[in-house]
Structure 1
Amino acid sequence: MRLATFNILHGRSLEDDRVDVDRYAAAIASLDADVVALQEVDRAQERSARADLTAVAAEALGAREHRFVAALSGTPGATWMAATGREQPEEAAYGIALLSRLPVRSWEVVRLPSVPWTVPVVFPGRRRPQLVSDEPRVAVVAVVEEPATGRCLTVASTHLSFVPGWNSWQLRRLARTLHRSPAPVVLMGDLNLEPEAVRRGSGMRPLVRADTFPAHAPERQLDHVLVGGDAPTPLRVDGAGSRRLPLSDHLALTVDLA
């Protein structure tokens, strides 16, 4: 079984500053993963050709099971508000996704509290910080089944806050929620935290160690694949690593499980 996680930057390439849906589909297909977690996913946005990027990825992978969960609804620069979970399928939105080639026994959405105040952030090329509001944060969880054996794996996708401290708090809260899920549990996504902070916040074991950001010269690991929960047979990794794809400012991570 191959797992993968990828912050797709809504499918945009930094090389030409464009979203090419065919290029995006080919990149996702090249992962050849059975379960894929995606972050920064658009649906019906002008900037990404009004495509449903979750559906495009699912078709490229041959993943019959997939869920997009909106963190924000509306359009950047116009109406842009926290999603409620009651958005219509054709409504413009932005969030995370989880896709599976394997059968899914159940789905769950976990909405995480966002920072209730503006925070100072120093953006590249600027000396002074700018006050910004953090995005709402969410996780999507699936219990997937291996058809040959009937064994199950709980897999979650999330994208945590960029605000130091708050992201660790969100991680601890999510880890407690996942602890109640059928074991073993795998958490994947852009956690906006480096490995030591992830270890402290989650108590989960990393399945891959590789720098993932920025894509052109990676020097920090912000994206993770973690395992937790007690299982009769511990998960064994046959291979793991990072991959640079022709889009996004993050590398993708893949893990092959025995």
Structure 2
Amino acid sequence: MRIATFNILHGRSLRDGRVDLDRYAEAVRGLDADVLALQEVDRDQQRSHGADLTEIAAEAMGATDHRFAATLRGHPGLWTAVSDHSQPASATYGIALLSRYPVREWSVLTLSMRNRLTPVRWTGKRWWSLARDEPRAALVAEIDAPGGPTTVVGTHLTVIPGWVQRQLVDLHGRVSSRPRPLVLMGDLNLVGAEPARLTGMRPLVTTPTFPVEHPRRQIDHVLVEGNLHAIGPGRAVDTGISDHRALVVDVEHT
């Protein structure tokens, strides 16, 4: 089974600043993932041509089951929170999880959020600025994988220092009773070994993923608990879109 996580930057390429839906579909198809977690996913947004980026990815990879969880509604700069993940009809933005294998059960978890302005130093900037957090969520799927039932969690954690650690620890605790093996993956906005240290989970891939052209930091992760092991070295893939590389690893149940 091949699993992957990819922050898609709503399908935009830094090379020309454009969202090309055919290029986006080809990027997803090229990963050849059986289970794929996506972050920064648009639906019905003008900047991504009004497309449903989850549906495009599902068709490209041949997913039999998939789910999109909206965390924001409206348009960039005019966002409002989506608190109940009820898939509003308006333009939305969030995360997605897709599987080529049947999903027994889906659930969406709303993550804790810091509700005040907090100093943040953005990547590549020397100064700090005040930022307000945005809603965050996790998608949980119990999948009928070839080696047996597998729980997969896809998420995109906050950029707020200190709070991101709290979110991860809280999320891990909330899925601790789910069937094993358990995979937790996504853009965790935590560097290197910190996610493994905070959760006690095993990292399946250790390689830089950001920024895309010359990655220096790993902030995208695939963590596991239980009898699931990598059967080869994972890799970070420059797909031609996004400011992140996709993280891909082949695994088997043992």
TM normalised by structure 1 equals 0.93
Alpha-carbon contact 1:169-1:201 (below 8 Å) kept: no
- Distance in 2 between residues matched to 1:125 and 1:62, nearest whole Å: 37
- Distance in 1 between residues matched to 2:57 and 2:99, nearest whole Å: 11
How far residue 134 of structure 1 moved from its aligned partner, in angstroms, is 1.3
1:103-123 deviation per Cα after TM superposition (whole angstroms, max 9, x unaligned): 000001110011111112334
- Distance in 1 between residues matched to 2:27 and 2:194, nearest whole Å: 30
Partner residue, 2:27: 27
- Distance in 2 between residues matched to 1:200 and 1:125, nearest whole Å: 26
* RMSD (Å) for aligned C-alpha atoms: 1.5
Partner residue, 1:143: 142
Correspondence 1:1-80 to 2 at 5 A: 1-78=1-78, 80=79
- Distance in 1 between residues matched to 2:200 and 2:129, nearest whole Å: 33
How far residue 242 of structure 1 moved from its aligned partner, in angstroms, is 1.0
- Distance in 1 between residues matched to 2:124 and 2:164, nearest whole Å: 24
Q: One-letter code of the match for 1:114?
A: M
Alpha-carbon contact 1:69-1:85 (below 8 Å) kept: no
Partner residue, 1:122: 121
2:253 aligned with 1:256, yes or no?
Answer: no
- Distance in 2 between residues matched to 1:126 and 1:154, nearest whole Å: 38
Alpha-carbon contact 2:70-2:87 (below 8 Å) kept: no
| Moved beyond 3 Å, runs of 4+ | 86-90, 122-128
How far residue 81 of structure 1 moved from its aligned partner, in angstroms, is 1.1
Distance 1:194 1:123, change over 3 A: closer
Alpha-carbon contact 1:140-1:157 (below 8 Å) kept: yes
Identity of matched residues, %: 53
Q: One-letter code of the match for 1:117?
A: R
TM normalised by structure 2 equals 0.94
Partner residue, 2:235: 241
How far residue 201 of structure 1 moved from its aligned partner, in angstroms, is 1.6
Which structure 1 residue ranges, 5 or more long, are not aligned? none
Which structure 2 residue ranges, 5 or more long, are not aligned? none
